Structure 1
Amino acid sequence: MRRAKGLAVAGTLAAGLSLAAIPSADAAPSLPIDTTGGAHFAVLVPKAAPFDLAEMAIIAHEGSIVQRWPQIGVIIARSKRADFATNVRKENGVAGVGATRNKTELAPRIQAPASIVPRLDEHTPGDQRTSTAAEPLAANQWNMKLIGADQANEVNQGSREVLVGILDSGIDSSHPDLKDNIDKAASVNCANAGVPDRTEAAWQDDVGHGTHVAGIVAAAKNGIGVAGVAPNVRLASIKVGGREGFIYPESAICGYIWAADHGVDIANTSLAIDPWYLWCNSDPDQAAVTEAVRRSVRYATARLVTAVSSLGNNNWDLAHDIVDSKSPTNGPTVTRNTDASCLTLPAELPGVVGVSSVGAAKSRYYASNYGTGLAYLTGPGGDRRFQIPATPDANGQVLSTLPGGQYGYLQGTSMAAPHVTGVLALHLSRDPALFGDALKVAAEAGAEVLPCPAGGVHDPGGTGQFRAVCEGGATGAGFYGKGLVNALKAVR
């Protein structure tokens, strides 16, 4: 909307692994440095300090400047020196330095679609702004019925004044269910070391994940395939992850600043920033990177961008200490105890709407992360194992758009977050005066409270593999935050 912008229960230990063998958070390992091609670093400039001191320090220690962000006091640098961060931290005009990544020659991390529905070329598009005809694949969209989006679309399909930024793997701008809703002027590729590239070819989707997320928010109601929660709002493709499937800090920083500076109202991040599932302040690299990302999110939210993020799919209680044996995501993993200083980025940062996931039975998706005070809202993200809907496909995952004019199923908190984003977009469409905290409160007020399961324990399948403890009793706050979003209440 073009308006003036103002300033758990710990993870299960592997068999035979003793607690004594696990490093503490105080001994969190540093990120391995790829000195062959040059590693990337986030360099923090102190508040109100000139950039030239930090830039001179970078050059003096054989680094190069990749991108400057004076809005938040962050420089992205590259160097082949293994001691680059250690040396630059000692220099005047530098508040911190953190390595952002290591090698990336591994399999993609972003999930690929489990199944693909053939494209529907025989369908003639209707007027995407006014059509209320049933979409050919709507019968399989149990997720839209679960939050009343199908009924909401009969009342309000969203305003063209609302712009939603999809910070993800890109969007296929030629997809018949998306092409009329993409704002190309507001789209960008940030995946190349956080350097913005506005060319349309650069922000196309390499993976399919971003196109799927975009369709959940705003696939057009045009009689072609599926419909999104808010099928008439505009979308900005803000690409922060490429074909390799990783989302590095410099790309996310670029994405948030781009959203803030280009009129985005709601920024959806169905992702966790690599390569650490949990970024720990006890490590100087991770602490500096966390602060750099925090600055970018704070910059965006101060300019009235509502930040929505998925909580992740590790079956972790993020409100309690966790044993992390899955990081880094792009190299040999280490096992470490983490504590309250270790955060999932960006979901656990101040001002971000963290989203957990439910399946078709309105019960927690078996792998969804959760946590009291961290799960703010929940949305339908699917559950292919334990919550099967009575739909033609009988598929418990979420059906949405995929590149090449196709449609397919995915599940996870990645799918839950865009449902929340879509409902927020409907609230804003109905009342343009809602922004910032007021927009979040409106969604909270309309949410359906889902209580914790009897006894507070959720053990889908009864094997203990996905066992989780819900705190909050009748409020269900530990699993579901303020509850399951409701699209119909948003438009009324």
Structure 2
Amino acid sequence: MRRTLGSALLVTALVAAGLTAGQPATAVRQEPVAHFVVLAKLGTPLARTEASVRAAGGRVLTSWPQIGVVVATAPGAGFAAAVRRLPGVVAAGATRNLAELGTGPASASSTSTVDRQPMPTEPLAANQWSMRQIRADRANDISGGSRKVVVGVVDGGLDASHPDLAPNVDASRSVGCGDGVPDTSPEAWGPLHPDFGHGTAVAGIIAAARNGIGVAGVAPNVRIASVRVGDTDGFVYPEYLICGYVWAAEHGIQVTSASVYADPWMRWCDDDPDQAAAAEAMRRAIDYANRRGAVNVAALGNANWDLSYPVVDPFSPNNGEPIERLTGDDCQMVPGEVPGVVIVSAVGAQKRKARYSNYGIRDVDVTAPGGDVGQIPNTPDGNTGVLTTINNGGWFYFGGTSAAAPHVAGVVALIRSTHPRWSPTRVTAALTHQADRIPCPPDGVYDPDGTGAWLAHCQGARSGRGFFGHGLVDALDAVTR
């Protein structure tokens, strides 16, 4: 992979699309072209906006009237500035830093009846410390979740043939997203390539089946849909995420789990018109999914940043030459800092902050197991990672806030199974209320190896809000309260 999508310890960016979306243009596109989002006023028809796209020299790739967004291509860098002046357009911006128009290569970068029968222990369960940490093992003796609940894995595709996933994969709700255009063929929503197992790992944490094979997920009886948002180079551009959340909204997906961030900007800043337009388009899609009944869960990232304060981003844009920049309150990681999303930090086996996890008293909603090399679990093999599924029918250890977010998505799926009539707002309130508080370390100072390399300061004292939000999610409470 070109970027950090293949790294278990880095949050990555991926997404997929919607069946009721506008159809792709039939004309052959010119090369090279750049991709743009063009926004109309919410609730207005897109005919004028599409006409303005064409008038400015662009080509309509697909349209999302549900959220007032047109995805377009154009051969010139001046397209966004030109189309912003035309009728039916409130904002427009490039989604890929215009690197597509350059000649150099991109740089790498990194309701329902609940089954209440006790379930068998899986062969590898002894090494699943993360499931015991959130009491998922005890929860599953009461409920493994409802078959009516579907979790969308917003990621790089998953291996539907894996014996621990095959019983729970919902192919009818799975999709791939090419250039932001939905494709329901199994090839489009399977793994990006055989050695890329990020989405398969996320899916196993959520819902690996209790079937006497391998491991079990947090909610082993719910269904999972692959919502693949990565392209063949491993990038997750805004149009992919837009498609994925609209797809979830319109295909009965009640929970989404995103261990990804939108490329090429690690944080999207509103003082730049291109970034502002793309970020607003993505926020509209995420909000649309929420309004249609989905609880959206996302990882906060793995740079040990305190997002309550301005941070220096040396990684963006990751599809060209990165430019070190200071990012403040007008900048957001998408989807990991979007309002209304359940935002997840990570802890290790000893319930301390994972050294890599981003944090912030205004940013974290809950925390969950992600693993940390300095926190050794009491398991037969003592591995500090999270044991889960991998492509080609195997199992391996995974980590990062990429692993923490699907634990939370699994708990949300259990709450939705227990209370099928609850709104997303009420489900989220229950999740945070049921979380087990973890206080800040003494004096708020965290320096796990004593070198200062992972130094962090926790605000919130006994509440622990700065590192852990409302606390560690609790699967047993999800099925009993």
Scaled by the length of structure 2, what TM-score is found? 0.89
Corresponding residue of 2:346: 357
Give the AA of the match of 1:433: R
1:45 CA displacement: 1.0
Corresponding residue of 2:414: 426
Q: Is the 8 A contact 1:356 1:368 kept in 2?
A: yes
Which structure 2 segments of 5+ residues have no match?
1-29
Q: Is the 8 A contact 1:43 1:96 kept in 2?
A: yes
Q: Is the 8 A contact 1:109 1:244 kept in 2?
A: no
Corresponding residue of 1:168: 155
53, 56, 74: which one aligns with 2:51: 56
Corresponding residue of 2:206: 217
TM-aligned CA distance change 1:75 to 1:129, over 3 Å = farther
392, 397, 404: which one aligns with 1:409: 397
1:266 CA displacement: 0.6
Corresponding residue of 1:311: 300
Q: SS where residue 356 of structure 1 aligns?
A: strand
1:133 CA displacement: 2.1
Q: SS where residue 241 of structure 2 aligns?
A: helix
Corresponding residue of 2:458: 470
Corresponding residue of 1:67: 62
Give the AA of the match of 1:185: S
Scaled by the length of structure 1, what TM-score is found? 0.87
Once the two structures are superposed, residues 134-192 of structure 1 have per-residue CA deviations (whole angstroms, 9 ceiling, x without a partner) of 211111111001111111111111110111111100111101000110111111002x1
Once the two structures are superposed, residues 305-358 of structure 1 have per-residue CA deviations (whole angstroms, 9 ceiling, x without a partner) of 101000001111111111111111222110111110101111211210000000
Corresponding residue of 1:269: 258
Q: SS where residue 134 of structure 1 aligns?
A: coil
Corresponding residue of 2:176: 189
Give the AA of the match of 1:183: D
Tell me how far apart the structure 1 counterparts of residues 109 and 204 of structure 2 sit (CA, whole Å). Answer: 21
230, 233, 250: which one aligns with 2:219: 230
Q: SS where residue 293 of structure 1 aligns?
A: helix
Which segment is superposed worse, 234-243 or 70-79? 234-243
Corresponding residue of 1:453: 441
Q: Is the 8 A contact 2:108 2:319 kept in 1?
A: no
1:52 CA displacement: 2.1
Tell me how far apart the structure 2 counterparts of residues 129 and 330 of structure 1 sit (CA, whole Å). Answer: 49
1:54 CA displacement: 1.7
1:470 CA displacement: 0.5
Q: Is the 8 A contact 2:62 2:180 kept in 1?
A: yes
Q: SS where residue 461 of structure 1 aligns?
A: coil
Q: SS where residue 315 of structure 2 aligns?
A: strand
1:338 aligns with 2:333: no
1:434 CA displacement: 2.3
Tell me how far apart the structure 2 counterparts of residues 423 and 350 of structure 1 sit (CA, whole Å). Answer: 20
83, 86, 110: which one aligns with 1:88: 83
TM-aligned CA distance change 1:490 to 1:63, over 3 Å = same
Q: Is the 8 A contact 1:131 1:223 kept in 2?
A: no
Q: SS where residue 401 of structure 1 aligns?
A: strand
Q: Is the 8 A contact 2:175 2:184 kept in 1?
A: yes
Q: Is the 8 A contact 2:164 2:214 kept in 1?
A: yes
Tell me how far apart the structure 2 counterparts of residues 165 and 108 of structure 1 sit (CA, whole Å). Answer: 27
Q: SS where residue 367 of structure 1 aligns?
A: coil
372, 388, 403: which one aligns with 1:400: 388
33, 36, 58: which one aligns with 1:38: 33
Q: Is the 8 A contact 1:131 1:221 kept in 2?
A: no
Corresponding residue of 2:190: 204
Corresponding residue of 2:337: 348
Alignment RMSD (CA, Å): 1.6
TM-aligned CA distance change 1:129 to 1:254, over 3 Å = farther
1:439 CA displacement: 0.4
Once the two structures are superposed, residues 23-44 of structure 1 have per-residue CA deviations (whole angstroms, 9 ceiling, x without a partner) of xxxxxxxxxxxx9521100100
Q: Is the 8 A contact 1:457 1:470 kept in 2?
A: yes
TM-aligned CA distance change 1:449 to 1:307, over 3 Å = same
Tell me how far apart the structure 1 counterparts of residues 446 and 106 of structure 2 sit (CA, whole Å). Answer: 34
Q: Is the 8 A contact 1:108 1:245 kept in 2?
A: no
Which segment is superposed worse, 261-270 or 422-431? 422-431
Q: SS where residue 189 of structure 2 aligns?
A: coil
Tell me how far apart the structure 1 counterparts of residues 364 and 57 of structure 2 sit (CA, whole Å). Answer: 43
1:244 CA displacement: 2.2
Tell me how far apart the structure 1 counterparts of residues 261 and 209 of structure 2 sit (CA, whole Å). Answer: 27
Q: Is the 8 A contact 2:36 2:93 kept in 1?
A: yes
Q: Is the 8 A contact 2:168 2:221 kept in 1?
A: yes
1:429 CA displacement: 1.1
Q: SS where residue 94 of structure 1 aligns?
A: coil
Give the AA of the match of 2:181: V
Give the AA of the match of 1:86: A
Give the AA of the match of 1:388: I
Corresponding residue of 2:127: 140
1:459 CA displacement: 1.0
Structure 1 segments of 4 or more deviating over 4 A?
Answer: 102-110, 128-131
Give the AA of the match of 1:74: V
Tell me how far apart the structure 1 counterparts of residues 449 and 165 of structure 2 sit (CA, whole Å). Answer: 37
Number of residue pairs matched by the alignment: 439
Q: Is the 8 A contact 1:68 1:75 kept in 2?
A: yes
Q: Is the 8 A contact 2:269 2:276 kept in 1?
A: yes
Corresponding residue of 2:426: 438
1:298 aligns with 2:293: no
Tell me how far apart the structure 2 counterparts of residues 164 and 62 of structure 1 sit (CA, whole Å). Answer: 40
Paired residues for 1:471-486 under 5 Å: 471-486=459-474
Tell me how far apart the structure 2 counterparts of residues 242 and 138 of structure 1 sit (CA, whole Å). Answer: 34
1:390 CA displacement: 2.2
TM-aligned CA distance change 1:69 to 1:261, over 3 Å = same
Tell me how far apart the structure 2 counterparts of residues 158 and 250 of structure 1 sit (CA, whole Å). Answer: 32
Q: Is the 8 A contact 1:109 1:246 kept in 2?
A: no
